[in-house]
Amino acid sequence: MVSCQRRVGQGEVRSGTHSAARNEVKATTKRPRRPDNRPVTPVEIAAIISGCFATGSVFLTAAVAFIGFRTTRSVTAKAVAAGSQDTVRALNAARDDRLWEKRAAAYEETVAYLSAYP
């Protein structure tokens, strides 16, 4: 048996023992590295291609969402601005109508006053 210490969690150290045979089994059962001269199998090619398409689709989805958000925000701002301009125009037109009615009443009084004296 070999004594060892290992860290668990955030800074907690525990002591324990484990067998040296277990280390030997781990050392001998390591996955062999792929030799550089071995050709890439069609399954590996398919995995690489599908991974690229998956990554690309995630990025494109994020781009579409971002562009859609910005477009919606700008269109909404333009609609609010146009609505505000229409409201201001309507209020100005109503004010001008009230002023014209006051002027028309003044004109009528003036014409009535002048027509009284021939």
**Residue 20 placed within a domain:** no
**Residue 22 placed within a domain:** no
**Residue 111 placed within a domain:** yes
**Residue 18 placed within a domain:** no
**Residue 24 placed within a domain:** no
54-93 pLDDT, tens digit each: 999 999 999 999 999 999 999 999 999 999 998 999 999 9
Quote the number of domains for the chain. 1
Residues in contact with 64: Cβ distance below 8 Å, sequence separation at least 6, in sequence order: none
Separation between Cα atoms, residue 23 and residue 42, nearest integer Å: 35
The model carries a pTM of: 0.43
**Residue 16 placed within a domain:** no
Report yes or no: 28 and 11 within 8 Å, Cβ to Cβ: no
Separation between Cα atoms, residue 60 and residue 72, nearest integer Å: 18
pLDDT band at residue 1 using 50, 70 and 90 as cut-offs: very low
Task: Please tell me the predicted confidence (pLDDT) of residue 3.
Answer: 52
Range of the domain at 62: 42-118
